Amino acid sequence: MLAEWLDQGLEGRTPSRTGGRVAGGDFRLLAPGVLELVPDAASAGAKACVLSVGIHGNETAPMELLGEVLARLEAGLVRLGAPLLVILGNPEAIRRGQRYVTTNLNRLFRRDLAETGAEPDRARALMAEVDAFYGRHVDRERLHYDLHTAIRDSRFPRFVVEPFGTAPTPAEQWRWLAAAGIQAVLHQHRHSWTFSHYAKHYHGAASFTLELGRALPFGHNELAPLAPMGRLLEALVEGREPAAGDAGSMAFFRAEHELLRHSEAFRLCFPDDTPNFTEFPPGTRLAEDAIGGETRVGETPLSVVFPNADVEVGARAALLVAPSPPPA
Ligand SMILES: O=C(O)CCC(=O)N[C@@H](CCC(=O)O)C(=O)O
Ligand SMILES: [Zn+2]
């Protein structure tokens, strides 16, 4: 039923059942693509976990990975020990195999959102579900992992974005992420109104956008490198202490600038297939635009992450980042 829930969500079918039992607890379907799992008895240190996939419809590996965890839960190989909200972000975009339908859902998670349309409505529905879920677990630490894959190759194929926010990230997160095969961490320098930012900014959750390799169609993903991440997700679902790795094995970066597309004439001055975290020396021309002119690297080298000239006008076309010290 749980793994079927993913398929039903993708196919737009009404689920055959809206609730039932798994080992250690109950599940119930709260809304299309929103599933809550309630343990009979959560373990003492269990977090209130939000796990989301498919916020971008073409990023399939996280859906397959989470589908495997849910299948193991259903088969009784994993026992529910933590309150869990599982979210299939943008079902219509997933059905179409597209990043989004009309606008990028992952820029809309703000409470003063005024836009109307399918994606803004979905953002409002997901924010309400997250608010209600954390509201039901006020006594627990909050966690949100928003699982994605990247458009391009990367010097670090598996990395996380730590959203901007005042709530400090618990040190255990770095150890868990290192053990789960994460190779780099990028600290955001300003509000970005992504889903992971929402959980941190409004709810003080330990939250990340996780980039788990490259975006490929269903059936083309190599899940073996994600096995350690699958084990981290299972530990969270069971309310167990996850495996700890050496946080020092990860590379840490900080966003220094956000490159915005200001006009239709915007273009990046490096090849389209430039991998994430490619470093450019001082003086390199990175982009040109009809409004705002050209962007060059200043006095210190900068690396480029998420370069995409094809975003909506006004949207982020790249992050320019520099190495930063690991958190104390
Ligand atoms: O590879 C790309 O260019 C985009 C991959 C992706 O969807 N990344 C997220 C990052 C969100 C964040 O900054 O936390 C996004 O752009 O929404
Ligand atoms: Zn994404």
CATH number of the domain bearing residue 293: 2.40.50.630
- Nearest atom, ligand 1, residue 59 CA: 7
Are residue 242 and residue 274 in the same domain, yes or no? no
Q: What whole-number distance in Å separates Cα of residue 132 and Cα of residue 312?
A: 32
- pLDDT score of 1: 61
Is 116 domain-assigned? Answer: yes
Adjacent-strand bridge partners of 323: 253
In Å, how far from its chain's centre is CA 253? Answer: 17
Count of the separate structural domains present in the chain: 2
| Contact partners, residue 91, CB within 8 Å, separation at least 6 | 9, 10, 12, 32, 33, 54
- 195 pLDDT more than 90: yes
Are residue 78 and residue 156 in the same domain, yes or no? yes
Is 143 domain-assigned? Answer: yes
Ligand lying closest to the C-alpha of residue 58 = 2
Looking at this protein, which amino acid is placed at residue 315? A
Are residue 51 and residue 101 in the same domain, yes or no? yes
- The pocket around ligand 1, CB under 6 angstroms, is made up of 56, 106, 148, 150-152, 161, 192, 194, 196, 209, 306, 308
Are residue 277 and residue 229 in the same domain, yes or no? no
**Counts of helices then strands in the chain (DSSP H, E):** 7, 16
| Contact partners, residue 110, CB within 8 Å, separation at least 6 | 193, 198
DSSP 298-313: -SS-EEEES--TTSPT
* Spacing, Cα 121 to ligand 2 middle (Å): 19
pLDDT band at residue 270 using 50, 70 and 90 as cut-offs: very high
Are residue 173 and residue 269 in the same domain, yes or no? no
Ligand 1 pocket: which of 90, 154, 158, 194 to mutate (most atoms <8 Å of CB)? Answer: 194
- 13 pLDDT more than 90: no
- pLDDT score of 17: 74
**Helix (H/G/I), strand (E/B), else coil: 84:** strand
Are residue 189 and residue 314 in the same domain, yes or no? no
What is this structure's pTM? 0.97
Nearest to 125 by CA among 201, 30, 207, 204: 30
Q: What is the mean pLDDT of residues 288-308?
A: 97
Please report, for residues 58, 134, 198, 217, the alpha-carbon distance to residue 102 in angstroms, rounded to integers and kept in the order given. Answer: 14, 29, 21, 20
Are residue 96 and residue 148 in the same domain, yes or no? yes
Q: What is the mean pLDDT of residues 211-232?
A: 97
Are residue 301 and residue 222 in the same domain, yes or no? no
Are residue 98 and residue 202 in the same domain, yes or no? yes
Q: What is the mean pLDDT of residues 288-315?
A: 97
Is 255 domain-assigned? Answer: no
Is 181 domain-assigned? Answer: yes
Is 166 domain-assigned? Answer: yes
For ligand 1, atom 8, the nearest C-alpha belongs to: 150
Calculate what percentage of the chain has a pLDDT beyond 70: 95
Query: Which of 193, 215, 249 is at the close of a domain?
Result: 249
Catalytic residues: 211
Nearest to 169 by CA among 226, 208, 120, 126: 208
pLDDT band at residue 272 using 50, 70 and 90 as cut-offs: confident
Show the domain range for 185: 2-249
Are residue 271 and residue 245 in the same domain, yes or no? no
Question: How does 165-186 read in b/e, with b if 16+ C-beta sit within 10 Å?
Answer: beeebeeebbbbbbbbbbbbbb
CATH number, domain of 185, equals 3.40.630.10
The answer to whether residues 14 and 7 touch, using CB atoms and an 8 Å cutoff, is: no
Ligand lying closest to the C-alpha of residue 89 = 2
Query: Which of 218, 249, 280 is at the close of a domain?
Result: 249
**Pairing, β 302-305 against β 293-296:** unpaired
Ligand lying closest to the C-alpha of residue 187 = 1
- 250 pLDDT more than 70: yes
Are residue 175 and residue 280 in the same domain, yes or no? no
DSSP 140-163: S-EEEEEEEEESS-BSSSEEEEE-
- 323 pLDDT more than 70: yes
Are residue 266 and residue 229 in the same domain, yes or no? no
* Spacing, Cα 156 to ligand 1 middle (Å): 14
* Spacing, Cα 232 to ligand 1 middle (Å): 21
Q: Is 56 annotated as a binding residue?
A: yes
* Spacing, Cα 272 to ligand 1 middle (Å): 16
For ligand 1, atom 17, the nearest C-alpha belongs to: 106
Q: What is the mean pLDDT of residues 303-317?
A: 97
Q: What whole-number distance in Å separates Cα of residue 121 and Cα of residue 93?
A: 14
For ligand 1, atom 13, the nearest C-alpha belongs to: 161
* Spacing, Cα 108 to ligand 2 middle (Å): 13
Q: Is 59 annotated as a binding residue?
A: yes
User: What phi and psi values does residue 49 have, to the nearest 5 degrees?
Assistant: -105, 130
